[in-house]
Each structure stands twice: as structure tokens, then as C-alpha cells.
Structure 1
Amino acid sequence: MTHSTGISDTTGTDTGATAVAATSAAVAGPDFIALQVRDVAAAAAFYEEHLGLRRAPASPPGAVVFATEPVPFAVREPLPGVDLDGVERPGLGVALWLRATDAQQVHDRLAAAGVPVLAPPRDTPFGRAFTFADPEGYAITVHDA
């Protein structure tokens, strides 16, 4: 059998896009992003002082939510069972991009403050972009709006 996705399946069952399309419930996309961190206060201070993020009016216990758009961004205590000390680099495999009005200027400010730059500024299809490591070790890419 060939699915609507164009993939052949010898079992005769359709597990592709048509199964999701037939339901009324669908996922719209990312709605909230939170980084689990060892020190919420220090992580929040970094994002406020170095990136200029502002806190949202309310945050749940153990977290700081920033008033970012279109998707809220937060730093929070680790969920039960998460051992951040047991990983080489948190978030490995996840690409987190933050939009800025001037990525080069943000890069220059972070570099001057001694923040580790993992990938220098470069031109991309999404504007000028660079990647830095936050204090927890997450790789964060900043790009122009």
C-alpha cells in the first residue's frame, strides 16, 4: 500500500498524514519553550542582563517566564528525574533560535562579556546568525528578524 505521504507500507495500514487529517484535533505548533536549569535565578539574570529579555507578569513556582513573542520562553527547575549534571551538554540535538533586531550587535555584546561563542556570525537564509553557550551549556542561536 502507498500512503498519502508517498511511502509504501507492506502491512496494508495507513499510519501517515491521512490518519491525522481525519481527526478534528491537530497540533498547531510550539506554544511554550522552557529550558531546565540548575540555577533559575542565575539563568534568568543572564537572559535579562545579556539579551535584554523582560519577565512576564507572572511565572509559576520554580520558573521565570519571559515576555517573548510569538512564543513564551522560560527557565525552570529540572523536572523530576532530570539530571542535568549527568549530561555533557543540555539540549544536545535541539536547535533553539532567538530572533533579534541586530544579531551582530548581540554577538559583539556577548563576546565582550566573555560569553562562549560556539559559531561566529554568518549570513544565513534567516539573516545574520551566531550561536553561543548560555551559562547552563545550552547552545542558543541568535538571528536577525
Structure 2
Amino acid sequence: MDGPDFVALQVRDLEAAAAFCEQLLGMRRAAFSPPHAVVFDTRPTPFALREPIPGVDLADVARPGLGVVMWFRTSDAHKLHDQLVAAGVKILTPMADSPFGPMFSFEGPEGYTLTAHGG
């Protein structure tokens, strides 16, 4: 294998999660998304939010993705941090230096833990 080629998170409320990514994280929808998902124009790896796959019931899950670690590159982690704080997004780990530049973690759609780094 060469590595991840596409990443998708399953969510209960697709439109609310997509709005979070668009309005607070600045992601843009790709030109095409299937009816059960919202695909974003992220590079190098496409990222999507999708309705749960058949057989998955997120109603019984307090926090989807518990144990999953997802890092997203940004041009300015400090600026994104300040924007998320101003919007009332829960910061899970404070800004810190890392081998990949400044980084912090925050609570994303439906409780997923997301880490932003760079800048």
C-alpha cells in the first residue's frame, strides 16, 4: 500500500457536520459528492463526511471515532486556533510546538478529535 487515498468520517447529522467544516474550518465542497456524503476539496488526500454505512448505528455511540487520530495541515495554526476559540469550539489540547509546526487539538463535528498543525 502507498498510504491513505481517501478519508471519511461517519456522522449522524451530515449537513450540520458539513457546515462545521465549511464555516469554521474553511473547507470547500468538491465539485461532486454522492447523495450520502459531502466530499471536500482537500489535498493531497480527499476528505469527506458521510452518513453511517449499513450496519453502523451511531445512536449508541457517545463519541464517534474514539481512539482515531486525525491531523489536518493549515497555513496558520495560531489563526485557526483563535477563530475556533472565538466561535466557542472546545479546544482539547493547547497550542504547542511539534515536529510539524505549531499544533493543537479541538472537538470537531459530533465529538471527533481533530488536530491542526502548520504555519
TM-score bracket, shorter-length normalisation: over 0.9
Bigger radius of gyration, 1 or 2?
1
Q: What is aligned with 1:140?
A: 114
Q: Where in structure 2 are the equivalents of 1:45-56 lying within 5 Å?
A: 45-56=19-30
Alignment partner of 2:46 out of 65, 68, 72: 72
Identity value in percent:
61
Deviation of 1:135 after TM superposition, in Å, equals 3.0
* CA distance in 1 between partners of 2:2 and 2:37 (Å): 24
What amino acid is the match of 2:6? F
Deviation of 1:92 after TM superposition, in Å, equals 1.3
* CA distance in 1 between partners of 2:72 and 2:20 (Å): 15
Question: TM-score, normalising length from structure 1?
Answer: 0.79
What amino acid is the match of 2:9? L
* CA distance in 2 between partners of 1:106 and 1:86 (Å): 32
3-state SS, counterpart of residue 106 of structure 2: strand
Q: Which has the higher contact order (CA 8 A, sep 6+)?
A: 2
* CA distance in 1 between partners of 2:102 and 2:25 (Å): 16
Q: What is aligned with 2:83?
A: 109
3-state SS, counterpart of residue 59 of structure 2: helix
Gaps of 5+ in 2: none
Alignment partner of 1:99 out of 64, 70, 73: 73
State how many pairs are aligned: 119
Question: TM-score, normalising length from structure 2?
Answer: 0.96
* CA distance in 2 between partners of 1:84 and 1:129 (Å): 29
Q: Segments of 4+ in structure 1 off by > 3 A?
A: none
Gaps of 5+ in 1: 1-26
